[in-house]
Amino acid sequence: MSKVYFVRHALPDFNVHDDLVRPLTEDGVKSTYKVTDFLQDKKITKAYCSPYKRSLDTILDFTNKNCLEVLIIDDLRERKISNSWIEDFHTFARNQWEDFNFKLSEGESLKEVQNRNVQALHSILEKHPEENIVIGTHGTALGTIINYYDKSFDYNSFLRIIDLMPFIVCMEFEGISLVSLEEFVL
């Protein structure tokens, strides 16, 4: 069995609209130490992350203290909404969760996000059977992964976790088949 600890990033600075470089707030940085404390006894042997700064910075304290190299996987990134900032995020998110193929011009659908995230996850699981892994991720990306295994994870489920930062989900796998899922709010 493999265990994957998905760590949704800590609180980012929403004043920075560039997804790639959006940093954590001061409170977000402080909460990364809670992530380290939580993961410390989980016998994690591999670390992967989205290329986005906020996700990497959320697991960096843990990986540094445990001498783990973080492998950046572009396909683990959050979904692209469009080339401009969306003011009414909740309406947009509801439209996407109600229709997994809905997307804005130059953006991604949740189906596209799910496909690339799950493909990346399966590749990681195949490379590291029987290991404990941490993956730095995002709310929507993680939500689509959960939905892949549990179709009852929907827009209301997404709303339940939307403000949980950081948020950890531990999934246990036999091969690429999900065996169990447990959530942790820090």
Buried b vs exposed e over 22-34: b needs ≥16 C-beta within 10 Å? bebbeebeebbee
Distances (CA, A) of 18 to 6, 96, 165, 178, 185: 23, 21, 19, 34, 26
Q: Which CATH superfamily is domain 2-185 in?
A: Phosphoglycerate mutase-like (3.40.50.1240)
Mean pLDDT confidence for 84-88: 82
DSSP letters along 55-70, please?
HHHHHHHHHHHTT-PE
Mean pLDDT confidence for 119-144: 97
Phi, psi of 94 (to 5 degrees): -60, -45
110-127 helix and 139-149 helix, angle to the nearest 10 degrees: 80
Residue 85: which pLDDT band, with cuts at 50, 70 and 90? confident
Mean pLDDT confidence for 105-109: 93
Q: How far apart are CA 126 and CA 132, in angstroms?
A: 13
Mean residue pLDDT across the chain: 96
Predicted confidence (pLDDT) at residue 25 exceeds the cutoff of 90: yes
Q: How far apart are CA 115 and CA 75, in angstroms?
A: 9
Mean pLDDT confidence for 110-129: 98
